[in-house]
Structure 1
Amino acid sequence: MANKTLLINRVAVSTFFFVNGFLYANWTSRLPELQRFFGLNNAQLGSVLFCIALGSMAAMPFAGWLGSKFGSDNIVKIASLLFCVAIPLVAISQNEWVIRLCFFFLGATSGSMDVTMNGQAVLVERLWGKIIFSSFHGIFSIGMAIGAATGGIFSNFQISLISHLVIIGFFGVLLVLWASTKLIKDIPMETEIVVSEEKTDKLLALKTILPFGIIAFCCMTGEGAMVDWSAIFMNKVIGESEVLSAWAFGTFGVAMTIGRIFGDYFTLNLGKQKLMLIDAILAILGLGITIVFVSVWSTFVGFFLVGLGLSTIVPIVFSSAGNLKNISPSAGISMATSIGYTGFFIGPPTIGYLAEAFGLRVGLGFVLFLFVLMAGILLFILRKK
């Protein structure tokens, strides 16, 4: 019975990861239509989308604190339902300031959901008794893939934006309501220790997680670069069609999903730090091939290797952050996500500036430098052990 209950807990937490990826991919798949609906040029759209980053970065530390105080199981329910509500809100108005507010709300709810569902994943992994963390992120990637396909179907049948987003938002609510009844009770951490000792514990935790946070920053900068620039690289640098360019990003996404599905197996057999070092080397090799050998096939091979390399780094970092002593899973994860997502949101615009001045190959060279830095930190951690 206990094993059956734990399996249900795992399925429930996986549902949150699926909903997050599924809903997010649905609205992003129709972003060109949203841009026309808003009547914004590319620069204005970029400014509006940055509100998502601001919302996420503002909410993540707060969500970590709330998870520590009230339990991740309680906060993830609220954050997830609000996220489902936020999805259709992005298409309710053409007023630029209302749009900015809705996108800020979308980012805040998505970021809060991200922190607290990862906190629940840590608890499931602890009770499961073996490494399973990467599988949750694999479910997220599967949700993204299905969500993108679903968005394409709605678009193909010319279903209105608001109808589409309301339908999938309602579907998300149904899944969240079911999963919310099957979560693990997260007991808030006791606060009986002296304030000075509490500060010391948090400082030690921050010092411990900082190297992993930097690793997450480097990794998520790479993820953001692939999301925003892989198709453009194939189109502008290689000179191929938009269809083939979309496949370039798809190659990266498929590799990420494969890597996360098998990530727990390799983590168990190789260890966290060793696997991350191998991942970093794969990412360096893949992006190096892409930049140096400018051809269709080298780009496909390179992006596939980058996807494999980046696939398990963030799940491992989040798992490590969520298992720090004297700090709750949500608080530890919020530290790592706050640092990591900075790279995801700030990295792609930085690449854009470099690409404008020196070309996209140089822009991606900045990401390659971060991958080398990431490998250096991991090598230092391994030697220190």
Structure 2
Amino acid sequence: MTNSHARLVERASVAVFVVFFLNGFNFATWAARLPAIRDGLDFSPAQMGALLLVGAVGSLVALPLSGMVVERLGARRTVFAFAVLNAVGLVIASVGVAFGQVLVVGFGLVLFGIGTSVWDAAMNLEGAAVEQHLGRTIMPRYHAGFSFGTVAAAGLAAVMAWLHVPVVVHVPIAVVASVVVVGLVVRRFLTPADEAAVAHEDAPEKGARGALAAWLEPRTLLIGLIVLAAGLTEGSANDWVSLAVVDGFSTGEALGALAFGVFVAAMTSMRWFGVALLDRRGRVVVLRVCAVLSLVGLLVFALAGPLWLALVGVVAWGAGAAFGFPVGLSAAADDPRRAPARVSVVATIGYSAFLAGPPLIGLLAQHVGYRHALLVVIVPIALGLCVVGAAAPLRVGAPDEAPTPRD
């Protein structure tokens, strides 16, 4: 790699980090105000779960098509276009909350879900391409960027709640500013020629047939299960930890937003500083440790008596949720010849759990409360723990049925 090309790749890497940050910022700008949104609509836990599920439908419909969209538009145009759609959806939803119009909120959340899912897939594919150019592990730090964005949004939301700023004022200003920055930074993404440089002449067939083949690979599906567990672990906290603290401990909305911030801060710290741990101990060991941390953290949070002990559980829960998603995507991209299709499959599985699973927890919370409903997440975490060996680094060119881990 020449010096000029190296500088272009480093600039692209910074741009990807910023885009991840802003994606997390937009997501948490809405998620951290859920108590106010619930009160504004006068919704029960089951109704809140159903409302969030409406938004997830948009994401689940769009995710399988995201690869074709990126192929047609390119990463930079896809990220910007669907960031705009993400923001438009949140603006519409916040207006619906202000006027108590549930259908308007639902419509806005569908647009938000479509924008979020395609934006997510496109930035992960761009991140995988940059990682291949850099020749070193960087994906966890991109996802740390997402977490930094959620921390920033949670802190801002706590201040807005404390100042009693309405959702309809706070959310539109925040997400419109975010989209403006996205439009500026995507200009530094890799060009199509740069992205193609990681491909090989003997690359497998692209398009729908290549994508279908990736869905039939055992290793890819097992990695998808790992990412599914991680996505549900992270997504359930994003959607419900603030409400679980507010209702479970009879506290104010500001403290609920602060608890959400504690979760994402713990996850961010692990993603940022844990890269060295990945280099020393390897993916499989780190993923096992993270799964155990998530299990312990969820149990403590759901069953603890005092609030301070529940917050200790939130810290363990956040640290444990840190690596499953980014490490799973890196594992899917081990072979650059098949990386786009495999990353698309794993991202689709992971984001499906991230977006669709938490609303279903809301339906369960109607009967057992938010804290106890979160215990259901233990099941996919345990399943993911059983198959973490699938994420072992794959020797490029080794048969998919019998991957050979690198040292």
TM over 0.5: yes
- Is the Cα contact below 8 Å between 1:119 and 1:333 reproduced in 2? yes
What residue in structure 2 maps to residue 136 of structure 1? 142
What residue in structure 1 maps to residue 289 of structure 2? 278
Answer with 153-162 or 277-286: which moved more: 153-162
What residue in structure 2 maps to residue 63 of structure 1? 66
Give the drift of 1:61: 1.2
Q: 1:379 to 1:290 in 2, by over 3 A?
A: farther
Is 1:15 aligned with 2:15?
Answer: no
* Paired letter, 2:269: I
The number of aligned residues is 382
Q: Return the TM-score normalized by structure 1.
A: 0.84
Give the drift of 1:244: 5.4
Q: How far does the alpha carbon of each residue in 1:177-223 deviate from its partner, in whole angstroms, 9 at most, with x for none? A: 21121001245789997799945972476433111111122222222
Is 1:149 aligned with 2:164?
Answer: no
* Paired letter, 1:21: G
Q: 1:107 to 1:12 in 2, by over 3 A?
A: same
Give the drift of 1:169: 3.2
Q: How far does the alpha carbon of each residue in 1:81-130 deviate from its partner, in whole angstroms, 9 at most, with x for none? A: 33233332223444433332221011100111000001111111111121
- Is the Cα contact below 8 Å between 2:204 and 2:338 reproduced in 1? no
Q: 1:167 to 1:375 in 2, by over 3 A?
A: same
Answer with 270-279 or 357-366: which moved more: 357-366
Q: Secondary structure at the match of 1:148?
A: helix
- Cα RMSD (Å) of the superposition? 3.4
* Paired letter, 2:181: L
- Is the Cα contact below 8 Å between 1:81 and 1:176 reproduced in 2? no
Give the drift of 1:40: 4.8
Q: Secondary structure at the match of 1:184?
A: coil
Q: 1:273 to 1:41 in 2, by over 3 A?
A: same
Match for residue 255 of structure 1 among 266, 273, 284: 266
Identity %: 25
Give the drift of 1:131: 0.6
Moved over 6 A (4+): 188-197, 380-384
Is 1:341 aligned with 2:351?
Answer: yes
Q: How far does the alpha carbon of each residue in 1:201-253 deviate from its partner, in whole angstroms, 9 at most, with x for none? A: 7247643311111112222222233334445555666x463465554433322
Match for residue 275 of structure 2 among 218, 243, 264: 264
What residue in structure 2 maps to residue 367 of structure 1? 377
Give the drift of 1:262: 1.4
Is 1:215 aligned with 2:219?
Answer: no
- Is the Cα contact below 8 Å between 1:66 and 1:75 reproduced in 2? yes
Q: Secondary structure at the match of 1:91?
A: helix
* Paired letter, 1:301: V
Q: 1:105 to 1:191 in 2, by over 3 A?
A: farther
- Distance in 2 between residues matched to 1:304 and 1:84, nearest whole Å: 30
- Unpaired segments of 5 or more residues in structure 2? 393-401
- Is the Cα contact below 8 Å between 1:206 and 1:335 reproduced in 2? no
What residue in structure 2 maps to residue 106 of structure 1? 112
Q: Return the TM-score normalized by structure 2.
A: 0.80
* Paired letter, 2:106: R
Q: 1:154 to 1:364 in 2, by over 3 A?
A: closer
- Distance in 1 between residues matched to 2:159 and 2:297, nearest whole Å: 32
- Distance in 2 between residues matched to 1:31 and 1:46, nearest whole Å: 11
* Paired letter, 2:225: I
- Is the Cα contact below 8 Å between 2:63 and 2:348 reproduced in 1? yes
Q: Secondary structure at the match of 2:136?
A: coil
- Distance in 2 between residues matched to 1:287 and 1:347, nearest whole Å: 16
Give the drift of 1:340: 1.9
Match for residue 27 of structure 2 among 21, 24, 27: 24
Give the drift of 1:11: 1.3
Q: How far does the alpha carbon of each residue in 1:252-288 deviate from its partner, in whole angstroms, 9 at most, with x for none? A: 2221111111132222222222211221122223334
* Paired letter, 1:7: E
- Unpaired segments of 5 or more residues in structure 1? none
- Distance in 2 between residues matched to 1:325 and 1:204, nearest whole Å: 17
- Distance in 1 between residues matched to 2:38 and 2:183, nearest whole Å: 32
Q: 1:301 to 1:103 in 2, by over 3 A?
A: same
- Distance in 2 between residues matched to 1:216 and 1:20, nearest whole Å: 19
Give the drift of 1:28: 3.3
- Is the Cα contact below 8 Å between 1:122 and 1:323 reproduced in 2? no
Q: 1:236 to 1:96 in 2, by over 3 A?
A: closer
